[in-house]
């Protein structure tokens, strides 16, 4: 796994994480901008979660503040982790209803995009939907399956995660909306994902597992749920059977050029 320039902040003896005024300023810039960008584009379940979390605008929230809301709504928590963690740790946390949060925030030079998930991406992008029981159940099931999966199976599971939790769209009675945290924390991808430029495919777990992706580009294809509850239904289907089928069928041809060396 590649290194990172970022170092996660560790809590003090009382569990409080200290940030600089500049870091709080970055949070303010990011959340103020992104709340405007997602207007009319985020799904209602996500917006309900944003309301429940009541995130501060002027400072980076403490994990304990987020935990109070998540524990009350779905029994989840967030867990402080270093900038990059192994798959094993990631799955183990999700299996125990803990969502990993790297406790650093991007620099002003990387406001628009960084490859490592920072505290803004994790808390603003993902935590609102962790207040939703359907989304929370799917994420918990995913963690338990990933923990027991082989290395090769985990790669196929990773594509399912990418095409849903990170970059998923959903059809609603008021139009196509975003629920994926990777989109909702990115100003450019929020606008692009709902445009006519990328391809939108009906959600199919096996097809999602067979679709290659790159982390450093706007996605060429998005899978669209018929409703958010579909994630809850998938959580109770034979996901590992689908992994086996996807492995037998093999990968689709990438819809993007190879990464430059």
The model's pTM: 0.95
Assign domain 21-249 one CATH number from 3.40.50.970, 1.10.3720.10, 1.10.800.10, 3.40.50.720: 1.10.800.10
The torsion angles phi and psi of 260, rounded to 5 degrees, stand at: -65, 140
Q: What is the spatial distance between Cα 42 and Cα 68, in angstroms, rounded to a whole number?
A: 23
Q: What is the spatial distance between Cα 61 and Cα 156, in angstroms, rounded to a whole number?
A: 33
Q: What's the DSSP call for residue 230?
A: H
The torsion angles phi and psi of 53, rounded to 5 degrees, stand at: -70, -30
pLDDT confidence of residue 257 = 87
Tell me the CA distances in angstroms from 6 to 9, 118, 124, 206, one per residue in order: 9, 9, 19, 35
pLDDT beneath 50: ranges in the chain:
1
pLDDT confidence of residue 261 = 62
Residue corresponding to tokens 């998923």: 168
Six token digits for residue 112: 């628009």
Q: What is the spatial distance between Cα 256 and Cα 58, in angstroms, rounded to a whole number?
A: 39
pLDDT confidence of residue 1 = 40
- Let me know how long the chain is: 261
Q: Where are the beta strands (DSSP E) in the chain?
A: 77-81, 98-102, 169-172, 175-178, 199-202, 221-225
pLDDT confidence of residue 239 = 98
């Amino acid at each position: 796994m590649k290194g990172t320039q970022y170092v996660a902040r560790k809590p003090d003896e009382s569990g409080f994480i200290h940030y600089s005024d500049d870091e709080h300023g970055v949070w303010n810039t990011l959340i103020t901008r992104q709340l405007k960008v997602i207007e009319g584009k985020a799904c209602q379940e996500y917006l309900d979660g944003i309301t429940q979390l009541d995130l501060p605008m002027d400072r980076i929230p403490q994990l304990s503040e987020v935990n109070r809301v998540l524990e009350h709504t779905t029994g989840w928590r967030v867990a402080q982790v270093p900038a990059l963690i192994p798959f094993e740790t990631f799955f183990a946390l999700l299996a125990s209803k803990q969502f990993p949060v790297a406790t650093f925030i991007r620099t002003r030079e990387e406001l628009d995009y960084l490859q490592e998930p920072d505290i803004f991406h994790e808390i603003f992008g993902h935590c609102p939907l962790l207040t939703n029981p359907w989304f929370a159940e799917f994420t918990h099931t995913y963690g338990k399956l990933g923990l027991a999966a082989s290395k090769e199976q985990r790669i196929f599971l990773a594509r399912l995660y990418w095409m849903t939790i990170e970059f998923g769209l959903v059809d609603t009675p008021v139009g196509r909306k975003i629920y994926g945290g990777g989109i909702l924390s990115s100003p450019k991808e929020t606008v692009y994902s709902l445009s006519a430029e990328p391809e939108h495919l009906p959600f199919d777990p096996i097809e999602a597992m067979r679709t290659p992706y790159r982390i450093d580009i706007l996605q060429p294809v998005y899978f669209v749920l018929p409703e958010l509850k579909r994630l809850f239904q998938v959580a109770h289907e034979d996901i590992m059977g689908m992994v086996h089928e996807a492995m037998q069928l093999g990968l689709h041809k990438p819809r993007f050029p190879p990464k430059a060396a």
